[in-house]
Amino acid sequence: MFESRCGVCCNNCTRKEQVNCSGCTKMKIPFWGGECLVKSCCENKKLNHCGECDIFPCEMLSNLCF
C-alpha cells in the first residue's frame, strides 16, 4: 500500500485536515493548486510511486525537502 507518489507518509501529516488534503494518489492536482513534478512524473510513467522507477532515487526526488 502506498500513500503518496514521493514516499511521504500522509497518514502522519499533521496538516492534512487543515489544508483538506486527501493525498496525491487520490487528487487530480495538489491541494495548493500548483504542480508537483514528482506526482506528474510518476503518473506519466504509470507508476504508483517513485520506488517503482528504474532510476530511483532520481535528482528530482533527492532535491525535495520533507
- pLDDT tens digit sequence for 29-45: 888 888 999 999 999 99
Its pTM stands at 0.83
Number of domains in the chain: 1
pLDDT tens sequence across 7-16: 888 888 888 8
Cell reading at 55 = 532510476
DSSP letters for 3-60 = S-SS---GGG-SSTTTTT---TTT-SS-TTSS--HHHHHHHHTT-SSGGGSTTPSPHH
What's the CA gap between 49 and 25, in Å, rounded? 9
